[in-house]
Amino acid sequence: MKNSVMLICVLCFIGLTVNSYSENTPHNGSHGMRHEMPSVKDERISLGLSPAMKQHQLANMRNHVEAVQSIIGLLSEGAFDKASHIAYSKLGLTEEMKKMCNSFENENFKNLGLAFHKSGDALGDTLKTKDITKSLGALHTTMTYCVQCHATFRQ
């Protein structure tokens, strides 16, 4: 009993500590009361998006992660054609994605976005071969863009 009370206290403390270190709380900065935490400072390049663009981008991103999840599930069932269709339509360079990428002012971000979507089309091509090893390699290449962009840019 005593132990579980202790555990809850410790967990609360960890929760509070993590929360106070978080940079992305909605009021951060607006009251000038938070301490600067240089060790956890977000050094990524900001895209300076408007609130509407932020929501649009995040919704797009959630679609991307869902597409990857679907592709992995379909691969585990050997459903290469369906996986290929998702790669083209959700990760590939569709007209909608081309427009979206081209709307960004940051040239490096734009180019990274376009290269990422081209890799989505290449993934679609590779999945059509029904070769699991090649397909996983192509998915890895596409996901390398996710990782690279997230490491470099923030909203």
**Which residues contribute to the site for ligand HEC (CB under 6 A)?**
58, 61-62, 64-65, 68, 109, 112-113, 116, 142-143, 145-146, 149-150, 153-155
Burial class (CB in 10 A: 0-12, 13-18, 19+), 135: buried
Give 80 or 116: the residue with its C-beta nearer to ligand HEC: 116
Shortest spacing between CB 58 and ligand HEC, in angstroms: 4
Give 80 or 93: the residue with its C-beta nearer to ligand HEC: 93
Shortest spacing between CB 46 and ligand HEC, in angstroms: 8
Give 135 or 142: the residue with its C-beta nearer to ligand HEC: 142
Q: For residue 124, how far is the Cα from the chain centroid?
A: 19
Burial class (CB in 10 A: 0-12, 13-18, 19+), 116: buried
Shortest spacing between CB 119 and ligand HEC, in angstroms: 9
Give 6 or 45: the residue with its C-beta nearer to ligand HEC: 45
CA torsion 17→18→20→25, rounded to 10°? -160
In single-letter form, the type of residue at position 87 comes to A
Give 63 or 129: the residue with its C-beta nearer to ligand HEC: 63
Shortest spacing between CB 134 and ligand HEC, in angstroms: 18
Shortest spacing between CB 81 and ligand HEC, in angstroms: 20
Q: Would you say the C-alpha torsion 108, 147, 143, 98 has a positive or negative sign?
A: negative
Give yes or no for a contact between 153 and 44, defined as CB atoms under 8 angstroms apart.
Answer: yes
